[in-house]
Amino acid sequence: MSSRNYVFQNSQQDTEQLRLSAIQDEFDPDSCRRIIQTGITAGWLALEIGAGMGSIMSWMAAKVGNQGKVVAIDINTRFIETANLSNVQVQCLDVAKDKLSSSYFDVCHARYVLLHIYDWKQAIDNIWQSLKPGGWLVIEEPDFQTSQAVNHSVSESVNRVNTAILRMYESMGIDPYFGRRLPQIFQQLGAEEIVVETYFPFANGGSRISQIMKMSAQHLAQRYVATGVCSANDVEQYIMAADDPLVWEYYYTTVATIGRKPL
């Protein structure tokens, strides 16, 4: 991803570890299941983009074995640079600017990465050319428009914060609805055997997804208020609601798209 638009680039190490750990716990099972659909096996060459704390990187490494290799890239490798895996290569790269090896990988995976890249078209082209003919691309991105609290006294505050999240990203020149672009992007690339999945959680306070959004709000509160859409009190209500089991909310949708590069 590109550091210029990554809103969590300057977050404290311990708090960012907690946030990334919660994301892993919530989303890794589905991500791994989707990658398995590509047929990943021993000897494959895999690329993990925006490796975070390295959970998918490590899982891929076990799948490809010593005969294969995983390249894990991120703009900040602070959580994976000490990974002690013989078949993993960690690189500090900006996927929109730094060239990847051509026709090299059997599978490339990215989750919640393209959303943060202003020049996402260049990033996509770079990733696509790095795939071997017949290689697989798996991308998972959010669509924040679906977030909505329902039937509670704090729902108006929560929904103002949900709107502020959209406005924050739009003010940065990036698309908070990026997930819905993925199927058409894959079609334009000429991908074959396209599969599209969505995950649209409806959960209450105390759930993993509510805690993820709570940690984001704690870090980005000033940015949310700066949009003029919500107040500091709204953000406080949003954070409190994330712990309240009586507050139910539709959270953002994850759109996952899988496709194969033509032989």
**What contacts 31, CB < 8 A, 6 or more positions away?**
56, 109, 111, 138, 140, 256
What angle, rounded to 10 degrees, do the helices at 55-64 and 13-36 form? 40
In the block, which residue shows the tokens 């550091």? Answer: 3
Q: What is the mean pLDDT of the chain?
A: 93
Q: Tell me, what's the pLDDT at 61?
A: 97
Q: Tell me, what's the pLDDT at 17?
A: 86
Q: Tell me, what's the pLDDT at 81?
A: 82
Handedness of CA 101, 103, 106, 108 (dihedral sign): positive
- The ranges assigned to domains in the chain are 3-260
Under DSSP, the state recorded for 162 is: H
Please tell me the distance from the alpha carbon of residue 249 to that of residue 209, in angstroms, as a whole number: 10
Q: What percent of the chain has pLDDT over 70?
A: 95
The model's pLDDT over 1-33, given as tens digits with 9 standing for 90+, comes to 444 555 555 556 677 888 899 999 999 999 999
Q: Tell me, what's the pLDDT at 11?
A: 52
DSSP 3-state of 153 = coil
Answer yes or no: is pLDDT of 104 > 80. Answer: yes
Please tell me the distance from the alpha carbon of residue 171 to that of residue 112, in angstroms, as a whole number: 18
Q: Tell me, what's the pLDDT at 2?
A: 47
Multiple choice CATH, 3-260, 3.40.50.150, 3.30.465.10, 3.40.50.450, 3.40.50.2000 = 3.40.50.150
Answer yes or no: is pLDDT of 230 > 70. Answer: yes
The model's pLDDT over 248-259, given as tens digits with 9 standing for 90+, comes to 999 999 999 999
Distance of CA 52 to the CA centre of its chain: 10
Token reading at 165:
């999240």
Residue pair 31/109 in contact by the 8 Å Cβ criterion: yes
For the question of whether the overall pTM of this predicted structure is more than 0.85, the answer is yes
Answer yes or no: is pLDDT of 180 > 90. Answer: yes
